Amino acid sequence: MREVEERLAARLAELRMERGWSLDDLARRADISRSTLSRLERAEISPTAALLGRLCAVYERTMSRLLAEVESEPPQVVRAAAQPVWRDEASGFERRSVSPPHAGLRGELVEARLRPGADIAYDTPPVPGLEQHIWVLEGAVEITANGHAHEVTAGDCLRFRLWGPSRFRCPGPDPVRYALLIVLP
């Protein structure tokens, strides 16, 4: 896991350098302190889901695509043991990249889990117009997308194109597990 975090830190630094931005430039664009960004790029800290969400928005990438950039090229069959899992212990979010992004493909499949009480908000979509299909497998989740709140329970599917802020909240008492299909515009 440490190796993935180090590659992620290096990739984030590369993305900033590719754009010719200083840490101060990125700090203003992402509304993240310069010191946090510096520590993140040196792999001294691990990003939270919210922090990574802000950086993905600035770099116009989905979280899965960014994480896939630090993984090796995925095979056509992605075995369960090879599916990258990322956890944000602070927010209670776990994300398994079931079908990671792949060159030439616009869609990806993610399995996500939120513990009861978890509440994650994203200020902006990583890519405007991103298509999402969220199928709840167990539990319930409250999802706010484009200013509309939805309670989605086991068996339900919510689908939309994301243009604005979003929020995922697990009201409990049980955790929620859902499949998320992401399609680039």
pLDDT tens string 47-60: 888 899 999 999 98
Cβ neighbour number for residue 143 with a 10 Å cutoff: 19
Q: Could you tell me if 96 and 111 are in contact, meaning their C-beta atoms sit under 8 angstroms apart?
A: yes
Q: CA-CA distances (angstroms) from residue 167 to 50, 103, 104, 142, 164?
A: 10, 28, 29, 8, 10
Average pLDDT in the 100-106 region? 71
HSE-up of residue 79 (Cα within 13 Å, Cβ side): 2
Of residues 72 and 76, more confidence is placed in 76
Q: Which residues of 84-110 are buried (b: 16+ CB within 10 A; e: fewer)?
A: bebebeebbbbbbbbbbbbeeeeebbb
> What is residue 1's predicted lDDT score, i.e. its pLDDT?
57
Question: In degrees, to the nearest 5, what angle opens at C-alpha 124 toward C-alphas 120 and 128?
Answer: 130
Which sign, positive or negative, has the C-alpha torsion 12, 18, 22, 28? negative
**What's the whole-model pTM score?**
0.65
Rounded to the nearest 5°, which phi and psi values hold at 69? -65, -20
State the average pLDDT for the chain. Answer: 90
pLDDT > 70? residue 145:
yes
3-state secondary structure of 67: helix
On the 0-12 / 13-18 / 19+ scale of CB atoms within 10 A, 148 is exposed
Give Rg (Cα) of the chain.
Answer: 16
| The pair of three-digit structure tokens given for residue 68, joined into one six-digit string | 């896939």
Average pLDDT in the 131-148 region? 97
